Chains A and B, each alone.
Chain A
Amino acid sequence: MKQLILTAAVLAVSAGMASAQDVVRLGTEGAYPPWNFINDAGEVAGFERELGDELCKRAELTCEWVTNDWDSIIPNLVSGNYDVIIAGMSITDERDEVIDFSENYTPPDPSAYLCTDAGADIAGGVIAAQTGTIQAGYVAESGATLLEFATPDETIAAVKNGEADAVLADKSYLAPIVESEADLGFCGEDVALGGGVGLGVRESDTELKDKLTAAIQSMKADGSLNALIAKWEVSSTF
């Protein structure tokens, strides 16, 4: 009888494990092109959409896309509203204390300042950055005045209307903006921040983390990750 109960319990647990992997929910911001954005059809698109779909295929997972505000993207992962953060999130020690990261899928890449005139005071002026990013942390410590916004788009608007002297953000995010708007340009030196971008998972989800890391490694090995990075111009290649 005891044996029977034990077997039933093991079966129940393993059945639970199996269904846990049925659908993996991928959480993204949907407002950070070319990494992730909402396309004209109203769907999540961009570098991370293609990357995520490919990783799920290689790890044999069924995946679904969810959008969430950047501000609350970590609390909602931790409380279980989705299983993976795939939102251009750089691997840092502070974040690593709360969640776990897969192996990085882009190399550490420079951040850059964007401003309207090249003589902007980067060291002591007003610098805009998105709340809760590595760039915001860097500006806060650099001695410049930090102006935080909830979305990346608002940081650009702040520079255009003169509220801020410059924006500090990932260079890959700023490059298409510089390209399409004549009165905006890069200024100052690039800064190297963070340890590359990785997938965020709950600390208790080691099995999922290992699967995703294995998938990233296989994409690195056959060169398909580099091809994808080059296609979307998100960073340097491996």
Chain B
Amino acid sequence: MFSFCADPSALSDARWFACYLTTGKIANFYLSFGTVLLLLAITAPAALAFGFAGATAARSRIAPLRWLGQSYTAIVRGVPDIAFFLFFVIALDQGFEWIRHKIRCPDWSEPIRQGNDFVVCTAAKLPLSTSPQWVHEVYGFFLAVLTFAIVFGAFAANVLYGAMRAVPHAQLETAEAYGMTHRQCFWRILIPQMWVYALPGLSNLWMVLIKATPLLFLLGVEDIVYWARELGGTANPRFTDYPHGDWRMWFFLGLLIFYLGFTRVSELVLQRLMNRLTRGQATSGGERQRKARA
């Protein structure tokens, strides 16, 4: 990076760190912060969508749909995260490959399961074994987002289901008395009012999601905790120009500050959102806002 980095062993501390912190190895660490933030940015709305669909299904008047929504929340919330992550991702990946195998290679005669091996024809591989490394990484990332969305969606579904029931029933009856259809009641009366009841539960989920990202490594995505452990370990002078002792404490301290800062910012944003959602609501918070203005 810098011109003076040619011989790190002869450098003063400040320059040594300037060189060390700009090596390609440490750049992986910086990039992984981006991975985690991107994952959160995509997963949060996706999980909310899963949750909304689950909650709507769970209170549907069509029985099979209701069973589907209720069993989704019950099963996913009941299985330990790690078991779910390990089992589900492999199953999901193999499921995709199996479907592609059936479509693309109908003439294939050998069995797909050969002992321990899962063998599909090469045209069905996901991603294709010829595709470059970044495609593999994007695919892994996509599986991670999907799994996170399904797991956290189940919790969100339960929160939203409760929030929908918390909206005063009189509001819905009044709407129907005015001649609104069922659909209109749902979208115009129930949904706008439910968020204020859902937000405390959803903000809890968001905080848990922020801290759940190290589970990514189970899915083969190299996240910040993986790199902190990897880079913080003792670096032997034979294998690097920047030898150091066991620095894991310092790397993890950095992570601690990152996570605390991130949750603090989240809290501030969620507080503003809560204020906005409370406006004009028939809740004690809404009442307080009304009196403060009056």
Q: Could you list which residues of chain A lie within 8 angstroms of chain B, going by C-beta atoms?
A: 9, 12-13, 16-17, 19-20, 22-25, 30-31, 33-34, 37-43, 45-46, 64, 66-69, 72, 75-76, 78-81, 83, 98-99, 151, 153-154, 156-157, 160, 176-177, 179-180, 202-204
Contact = CB atoms under 8 A, between A and B. Distances in A.
Contacts of A12: 105, 107
Nearest to B110: A204
A20 B122 contact: yes
Interface of B: 23-25, 27-28, 90, 93-94, 97, 105, 107-108, 114-123, 125, 128-130, 132-133, 136, 217-218, 220, 222, 229-230, 233-234, 236-243, 246, 248
A23 B130 contact: yes
Contacts of A79: 90, 93-94, 118
27 contacts: A12-B107, A13-B108, A16-B105, A19-B122, A19-B123, A19-B130, A20-B129, A22-B130, A38-B25, A39-B240, A40-B240, A41-B24, A42-B27, A46-B239, A64-B132, A64-B133, A67-B222, A69-B217, A69-B220, A79-B118, A80-B118, A81-B220, A176-B238, A176-B239, A179-B238, A203-B114, A204-B119
Nearest to B234: A153
A81 B219 CA distance: 11
Given A39-B240, A78-B118, A179-B238, 10 more contacts: A19-B128, A24-B129, A34-B238, A41-B25, A66-B136, A80-B125, A81-B136, A83-B129, A153-B234, A203-B116
A177 B90 contact: no
Contacts of A180: 236-238, 243
Residue in B27, B132, B229 with the greatest tally of chain A CB atoms within 10 Å: B229
B28 A42 contact: yes
Contacts of A25: 129
A28 to B, nearest CB: 13
Contacts of A9: 107
Nearest to B27: A42
Contacts of B242: 40
Given A34-B238, A176-B238, A43 B24 contact: yes
Contacts of B93: 79
B120 to A, nearest CB: 8
A13 B16 CA distance: 56
Contacts, number: 116
A44 B57 CA distance: 48
Nearest 7 pairs of A and B residues by beta carbon: A42-B24, A153-B233, A41-B24, A20-B122, A42-B25, A33-B239, A22-B130
A60 to B, nearest CB: 16
A177 B107 contact: no
Nearest to A81: B220
Nearest to A71: B218
A78 B94 CA distance: 11
B239 A34 contact: yes
A34 B236 CA distance: 10
Contact of B25 (A22, A24, A39, A75): A39
B216 to A, nearest CB: 12
A99 B28 CA distance: 31
Nearest to B246: A157
A203 B115 contact: yes
A150 B281 CA distance: 52
